[in-house]
Homo-oligomer: A and B are copies of this chain.
Amino acid sequence: MNKDLNDLRESLDNIDNAFIFLLAERFRVTQKIGLYKSEQGLPAVDEARERVQFAQIERLARDRGLNPEFASKMLRLIIDEVVENHEAMSGAEG
Main secondary structure of the interface of A (DSSP, over half): helix
Q: How large is the interface on A (under 10, 10 to 19, 20 to 34, 35 or more residues)?
A: 35 or more
Q: What separation, in Å, do the CA atoms of A20 and B78 have in the docked complex?
A: 13
In the complex, which of the residues B5, B27, B49, B61 contacts A9, with contact meaning CB atoms closer than 8 Å?
Answer: B49
Interface pair B60/A32, CB less than 8 Å apart: no
Interface pair B22/A9, CB less than 8 Å apart: no
Whether, in the assembled complex, A87 has its beta carbon less than 8 Å from a beta carbon of chain B, the answer is: no
Q: List the interface of chain A (C-beta within 8 A of B).
A: 2, 4-5, 8-9, 11-13, 15-27, 29-30, 32-33, 36-37, 40, 49, 53, 56-57, 60-61, 64-67, 70-71, 73-75, 77-78, 81
